[in-house]
Chain A
Amino acid sequence: MFKDLAKKKKKSKKPKEGEEAETPAADGEFDPSALKKKKKKKPKTTDADDFEAKLAEVGAVEKEDAEEEKTEEPIQEGDMEKGTGIWAHDATTPIKYNNLLKRFFTQLHSHHPDLASTGSKSYKIPPPQCLREGNRKTIFANISEICKRMKRSDEHVTQFLFAELGTSGSVDGSKRLVIKGRFQQKQIENVLRRYIMEYVTCKTCRSPDTELNKGENRLYFVTCNSCGSRRSVTAIKTGFSAQIGKRKRQQG
């Protein structure tokens, strides 16, 4: 990883720096033209605060850019993963903006998917790992990992799972959840998705960065860390549960 990073820096010194400076602030208002300009004027201006001034400058630089793109006609080839062609360690050809942008996003997606995604739709949790124990039990192996990711207690999630699946179970020595009944990964995933909707996402801003606390008078509240909204959530209720397999005892 670090090796990789170091390599990258050398590979494309100028543009890389431009990218670095721009992207954290860019978030909502990503302006490619600003970046383009920056790439070229690198030595002159580096601070990103001066957005207004830069914008004005962009107008002047735009034409220049167009001309340059024409001269850069030769097709830029090479595998950016392997570092061949234009991506080679000691390559000196200036890399086209589009190519750099592509590289930036591929790497962002592979290394920091959280940063690349916005909104609750792309909120990701590791897929539940389900193993079969014997014929009648399912082991949900990575429950504590998932709970940590959602910032919820294992007990609360377990309670919800049991209530929704209409079953019971236990926790084994290595913190895995043993659920009575046969369940597929997909099914557990569905229940977890509903849990997230009910108890994790903020209904106001859709952020998953929330906390579940026991408020006054036994009510549970979800407090959002990004917008500060607070809502009460229903306690988990098991509801009616049918008697299964007890008829024999009743008869006998």
Chain B
Amino acid sequence: MSIIENLKDKDPFAEADDDSGEKVHKSQDYIHIRIQQRNGRKTLTTVQGLNNQKFNFDLIIKHFKKKFACNGTIVPESSTHKEVIQLQGDQRKNVYEFLTSKDFLNMDAKTIKVHGF
């Protein structure tokens, strides 16, 4: 049996990215960074969709707490078996940089969606 070379690295059925035409990850693969307002000016940042099989959440949270000087917890998400990282304050930029930085997770910026204002 020979393998069709063309189909090896590209998934022909993947959705095309609107702007570049490149294939883009399925929506469930996105990492969502969201912000919520608590009482007053206080906010909460949640990171949803990060693979907890692949990454050690305890280590990540430890790093976040120290680097961003905020408290944080891991919250189980009911609909999927993935967990959500929850941080105090608006850490969206910090988290985004952490995820995309070459020194840390080195993820593709296209797989991350930052929500909020």
Q: Give the B-binding residues of A (Cβ under 8 A).
A: 136, 163-167, 180-184, 186-188, 190-191, 203, 231, 234, 239-242, 244-245
B19 contacts A203, C-beta separation under 8 Å:
yes
B46 contacts A164, C-beta separation under 8 Å:
no
Further contacts, 6 of them, CB under 8 A, given A180-B37, A240-B32:
A167-B36, A181-B37, A184-B117, A188-B117, A239-B48, A240-B48
Knowing A166-B115, A188-B117, A231-B18, say if A242 contacts B37 (CB, 8 Å): no
B117 contacts A165, C-beta separation under 8 Å:
yes
B18 contacts A242, C-beta separation under 8 Å:
no
On chain B, the residues within 8 Å of A191 by CB distance are 116-117
Nearest neighbor of B15 in chain A, beta-carbon distance: A232
Q: Given B19, B48, B86, B117, which contacts A187 in the complex, CB threshold below 8 Å? A: B117
Q: Give the A-binding residues of B (Cβ under 8 A).
A: 18-19, 27, 32, 34-39, 41, 44, 46, 48, 75, 77, 84, 86, 115-117
Nearest neighbor of A234 in chain B, beta-carbon distance: B27
A245 contacts B38, C-beta separation under 8 Å:
yes
Q: Given A180, A183, A239, A245, which contacts B117 in the complex, CB threshold below 8 Å? A: A183
A interface majority secondary structure = loop
Q: Given A136, A181, A234, A240, which contacts B34 in the complex, CB threshold below 8 Å? A: A240
What are 24 A-B interface contacts by the 8 Å CB criterion?
A: A164-B115, A165-B116, A166-B116, A167-B36, A167-B37, A182-B41, A183-B117, A186-B117, A188-B117, A191-B116, A191-B117, A203-B18, A203-B19, A234-B27, A239-B32, A239-B115, A240-B48, A240-B77, A240-B84, A241-B36, A241-B46, A242-B36, A242-B44, A244-B38
Knowing A166-B34, A231-B18, A234-B27, say if A244 contacts B117 (CB, 8 Å): no
On chain A, the residues within 8 Å of B86 by CB distance are 242
Knowing A190-B117, A234-B27, say if A239 contacts B34 (CB, 8 Å): yes
A242 contacts B117, C-beta separation under 8 Å:
no
How distant is A248 from chain B, measured CB to nearest CB, in Å? 12
The distance in angstroms between the C-alpha atoms of A184 and B57, with both chains bound, is: 34
The distance in angstroms between the C-alpha atoms of A136 and B42, with both chains bound, is: 12
For A165, A184, A231, which residue has the most chain B Cβ atoms within 10 angstroms? Answer: A165
Knowing A166-B35, A166-B116, A239-B32, say if A244 contacts B44 (CB, 8 Å): yes
Nearest neighbor of B115 in chain A, beta-carbon distance: A164
How distant is A96 from chain B, measured CB to nearest CB, in Å? 45
Q: Sorted from nearest, which 8 A-B pairs have the closest CB atoms? A: A187-B117, A166-B36, A181-B37, A240-B48, A203-B18, A240-B84, A164-B115, A190-B117
The distance in angstroms between the C-alpha atoms of A188 and B116, with both chains bound, is: 9
The distance in angstroms between the C-alpha atoms of A221 and B116, with both chains bound, is: 24
How distant is B8 from chain A, measured CB to nearest CB, in Å? 28
Q: Given B19, B27, B39, B75, which contacts A242 in the complex, CB threshold below 8 Å? A: B75
The distance in angstroms between the C-alpha atoms of A178 and B33, with both chains bound, is: 24
On chain A, the residues within 8 Å of B115 by CB distance are 163-164, 166, 239
On chain A, the residues within 8 Å of B48 by CB distance are 239-240
Nearest neighbor of A239 in chain B, beta-carbon distance: B32
On chain A, the residues within 8 Å of B37 by CB distance are 165-167, 180-182
On chain B, the residues within 8 Å of A163 by CB distance are 115
How distant is B78 from chain A, measured CB to nearest CB, in Å? 9
On chain B, the residues within 8 Å of A203 by CB distance are 18-19
Q: Given A188, A190, A234, A244, which contacts B36 in the complex, CB threshold below 8 Å? A: A244
The distance in angstroms between the C-alpha atoms of A182 and B32, with both chains bound, is: 22
The distance in angstroms between the C-alpha atoms of A167 and B44, with both chains bound, is: 12
